[in-house]
Amino acid sequence: MVALNLISNSFMKNNLFLLFSFLFCSTTLFSQTYITNVNVADVENQKILPNQTIVITNDLITTVKSSKKVKIPENADVIDGNGKYIFPGLTDAHIHFFQNGGLYTRPDAIDLRQFMPHEKDLNYAHNNMENVLHRYLQNGITNVIDVGSNKKFLKQREGFKDNLNIPSIYMTGPLLTTYEPNVYVNLKDEEPFSLVTSVEDGISMVKDQLPFKPDFIKIWYITTADGLGIEASARKNLPIIKAIIDEAHKHNLRVAVHATQRIPAQLAVENGCDFLVHSIDDEIVKDDFVQLLKKNQTFLCPTLTVSHGYMDTFGQRITKSNYELSKADPYQLGSLLDLKHLKDTLRINRYKNMANSEERIAALNKADSISYMNLKLLSDAGVNIATGTDAGNIGTLHASSYLAELKAMSESGMSNWQIIRASTINGAKVLDKEHEFGTVAVGKKANLILLDANPIDTIENVTKLNLVINNGKTFNPNELIKDSPEDLAQRQLNAYNLRNIDAFLEPYDDDVEVYSYPDTLLFKGKETMRTGYSKMFDNTPNLHCELVGRISQGNVVMDKERVQMGDNIVEAIAIYHIENNKIKKVYFVR
């Protein structure tokens, strides 16, 4: 009896302790944010609900109601949503962390390893991963799906598990493929491809990825590398493709397939593929294909812009929007222009001629128009479309390329609501996580974007970000990534080389002073600069500034430049003084 008494006493004490600690925890960890009088996007029913109040409790949405029906407690954390629009956070359903988006990132497409060892590019990708994630969040992208990663990145992802300041990361392991480009062989944990030569291989390579906890399995279904035609090649490898899909499904893993031609795409879907990560660009799909995708609830990600990234870079005809010039990783974007000065002119000219040849341009245009027509057709028929950029590929920069992809989807004829659904709820559905995120609804994760304008009016408005809310935490997008003095120097250099006067002037202070070293004032003020540089951009053929070297200390950046202007080459040093995140003074040493 005594013993029992003791037990029940201690049981009581423990329970009280638990109760108190729960109360204590709940008061310290409990956080609530009210977003009042806001226009809420109902992406499933395609309508905007005006005058709503949203309550976010910790990382979840706990109330979405007419503002009249919600009482705001005193001292509550309130965000005034008046005149603003709240949408679910965006998903990029097709990216690759192992690629940086710059010129040196795909040595199988253009081998420039003599200028940049592949290992160095991969190290950049790893060291820069958190920065890339912040860049996604800065652009309202709260979920990213890497469909083709490697084991080292799967391991690196573990380190981000408790980080609330980054988007949610979903990832496959290496691409299972029946053809592997030579440059990737023997990279071990860094290998983005696993060569599969038999059904047994396929099964064992799915199992091999399991300890690294991929979210699904990716197949690179490449045809004709074996010298056969598309159909013969696709059918020859089909037993392997089927075995991989079956094995992945056994382990409850969905399967994403790269297939850009109708025949392998159809074979993949008939055999259980869950997610086609590209458009069909070789023929207009027929109704049986559309019905197959509908019946199987297959997802399709159109990736309309990625091939332009390659061809515009190789053809040296890059144009980037001001948005991209201000949001992209400035060094990766800048590297795309290196073809203008790298010394391997034989190879570079071969690529330039190829990309600018009539046949190539005609082929790209044809693939585009087929992809656009297929997208419109599939989307209108009710096939699940998910937005994805294929970011990381040459010319398709992480996060900043999302807008160009949305605009291309819009050009295909998709409505803005269809595009928004593809970018939100369908991104969640790809992962079978629509019960967790993808809509502005009670019980969903508070991954949201607060916009100053309505993207249903014009899709560019997804960039009018007032706030990004990730796991219930509120971020000012401008604070997520701040340009360093070197970043500013690089941004104006990129815009100079693209002759984009507005983007060029953007990093400069309104009262900028430009000197000839040491102290001769050449001119003052951004507007004077605009007149002079606009004229120069318009009238100078063959303009290109190569950065030969850069050093920096504190707020001073020194660039050694070699500038091609027409037939002349000018060598100079530019010294940039940065104050309050703008270039305040420039000294040219000639």
Of the two residues 201 and 390, which places its CB atom closer to Zn ion in the complex?
A: 390
Closest CA to 192 of 106, 101, 314: 106
Span from 122-130, 241-249, 383-391, 510-518 in contact with Zn ion (CB under 5 A): 383-391
Of the two residues 125 and 505, which places its CB atom closer to Zn ion in the complex?
A: 125
String marking each residue 332-371 x if it binds Zn ion according to CB under 5 A: ----------------------------------------
Of the two residues 96 and 491, which places its CB atom closer to Zn ion in the complex?
A: 96
Of the two residues 87 and 170, which places its CB atom closer to Zn ion in the complex?
A: 170
3-state secondary structure of 420: helix
Q: How far is the CB of 96 from Zn ion (least distance, A)?
A: 6
The shares of helix, strand and coil residues in the chain, as percent rounded to the nearest 5, are 40, 25, 35
Q: How far is the CB of 136 from Zn ion (least distance, A)?
A: 16
**By beta-carbon distance, which residue lies closest to Zn ion?**
390
Of the two residues 274 and 390, which places its CB atom closer to Zn ion in the complex?
A: 390
Q: Who contacts 229 (Cβ-Cβ below 8 Å, separation ≥6)?
A: none
> Measuring CA to CA, how many Å separate 458 from each of 5, 380, 410, 461?
71, 19, 10, 6
> For 213-280, what is the HEC assignment?
CCCEEEEECCCCCCCCCHHHHHHHHHHHHHHHHHHHHHCCCEEEEECCCHHHHHHHHHCCCCEECCCC
Q: How far is the CB of 303 from Zn ion (least distance, A)?
A: 7
Q: How far is the CB of 334 from Zn ion (least distance, A)?
A: 23
Q: How far is the CB of 296 from Zn ion (least distance, A)?
A: 21
Q: How far is the CB of 257 from Zn ion (least distance, A)?
A: 11
> Within 10 A of 249 (CB to CB), how many other CB atoms are there?
15
Of the two residues 390 and 546, which places its CB atom closer to Zn ion in the complex?
A: 390
146 near Zn ion (CB under 5 A): no
Closest CA to 142 of 332, 520, 423, 490: 423
| CA dist., res. 391 & res. 97, Å (int) | 8
Span from 39-47, 207-215, 280-288, 385-393 in contact with Zn ion (CB under 5 A): 385-393
Of the two residues 408 and 545, which places its CB atom closer to Zn ion in the complex?
A: 408
Q: How far is the CB of 94 from Zn ion (least distance, A)?
A: 6
Q: How far is the CB of 391 from Zn ion (least distance, A)?
A: 9
Phi and psi at 162, nearest 5°, equal: -100, 10
Q: How far is the CB of 123 from Zn ion (least distance, A)?
A: 21
Scan residues 563-582 and list those touching Zn ion (CB under 5 A): none
Of the two residues 324 and 390, which places its CB atom closer to Zn ion in the complex?
A: 390
Span from 69-77, 313-321, 387-395, 553-561 in contact with Zn ion (CB under 5 A): 387-395
String marking each residue 481-500 x if it binds Zn ion according to CB under 5 A: --------------------
Q: Which residues of 4-32 are buried (b: 16+ CB within 10 A; e: fewer)?
A: eeeeeeeeeeeeeeeeeeeeeeeeeeeee
Size of the site for Zn ion (CB under 5 A): 1
- Choose which of 282, 390, 405, 506 interacts with Zn ion (CB under 5 A): 390
Closest CA to 246 of 178, 176, 297: 176
Span from 19-27, 38-46, 388-396, 500-508 in contact with Zn ion (CB under 5 A): 388-396
Q: Which residues of 549-564 are buried (b: 16+ CB within 10 A; e: fewer)?
A: eeeeeebebbbebebb
Q: Which residues of 186-223 are buried (b: 16+ CB within 10 A; e: fewer)?
A: ebeebbbbbbbeebebbbebbeebeebebbbbbbbbbb
Task: Please say whether the beta carbons of 303 and 277 come within 8 A.
Answer: yes
Of the two residues 61 and 248, which places its CB atom closer to Zn ion in the complex?
A: 248
Of the two residues 92 and 312, which places its CB atom closer to Zn ion in the complex?
A: 92
Of the two residues 64 and 394, which places its CB atom closer to Zn ion in the complex?
A: 394
Q: How far is the CB of 390 from Zn ion (least distance, A)?
A: 4
Scan residues 88-107 and list those touching Zn ion (CB under 5 A): none
Q: How far is the CB of 332 from Zn ion (least distance, A)?
A: 17
Span from 248-256, 267-275, 384-392, 562-570 in contact with Zn ion (CB under 5 A): 384-392
Q: 236-241: long-range contacts (C-beta < 8 A, 24 or more apart)?
A: 237/178, 238/267, 238/271, 239/199, 240/178, 240/196, 240/197, 240/198, 240/199, 240/201, 240/202, 241/202, 241/267, 241/268, 241/271
Question: C-alpha dihedral over 363, 366, 372, 377, to 10 degrees?
Answer: -130
Q: How far is the CB of 16 from Zn ion (least distance, A)?
A: 56
Of the two residues 368 and 390, which places its CB atom closer to Zn ion in the complex?
A: 390
- Give the footprint of Zn ion on this chain (CB under 5 A): 390
